[in-house]
Amino acid sequence: MDTKIINPDGSAKDLNKISSSTPSGNIDKIRDILFGNQMRDYDRRFTRLEERIQREQSELKDEIRKRFDSLETYIRNEIDALSDRLKTEQNERGDSLKETSRAFTAITQSLEKKAAQMDDQLSKNHRDLRQSALDQSKQLMEEIHSKHNSLSQSLERAVQELTVDKMERSGLADLFTEMALRLNNQFHIEANEENADE
């Protein structure tokens, strides 16, 4: 039975020939002959694989480090941006609050000024109304006094006219009496009696 070993380079070795020509005590040589090329090829492959793994591991570490640094930079920038935005918003809100406070103060002052103006206007209107009432009252009193004087004068004139009418009636009665006496021829006598008494 032929036993052959195929080497990695494609060559074949006959195991029987190797066993017959090689002493039985030299196992390492047999092993080297049988598996030497294959083992060296495996060693080279393992070495290349290990180098490749180390290289890729190093590249992976570098890539991870770069990404971590990039992530750290991104996070730091985002935190700075958020901090700046927060500061800006705080400043804007502070300015808005100050502006609102100023506007509220201005409105309050304006309302107080308008209230004072309205109070002054009401006081002025009250004074004007009171003065107008006093003026009207004075004018009414003057009109009443004038009417009273006018009525008093009219009454006096009427009384005087009545008195004059009464005196005229009395004089007319005396005149009629005298005429009656004269008609009766008694007036002359009475006159003579008055002269005699004197």
According to the model, what pLDDT value does residue 11 have? Answer: 57
According to the model, what pLDDT value does residue 83 have? Answer: 92
Confidence at 196, pLDDT banded by 50, 70, 90: very low
Give the dihedral sign, CA 65/70/73/75: negative
| List of E strands, the chain | 4-6, 12-14
- The string of pLDDT tens digits covering residues 12-59 is 555 455 444 445 557 878 777 777 777 788 888 888 889 989 988 999
According to the model, what pLDDT value does residue 1 have? Answer: 46
Confidence at 2, pLDDT banded by 50, 70, 90: very low
Q: At what angle do helices 27-183 and 187-197 cross, to 10 degrees?
A: 90
Q: Does the pLDDT at position 161 exceed 90?
A: no
According to the model, what pLDDT value does residue 38 have? Answer: 79
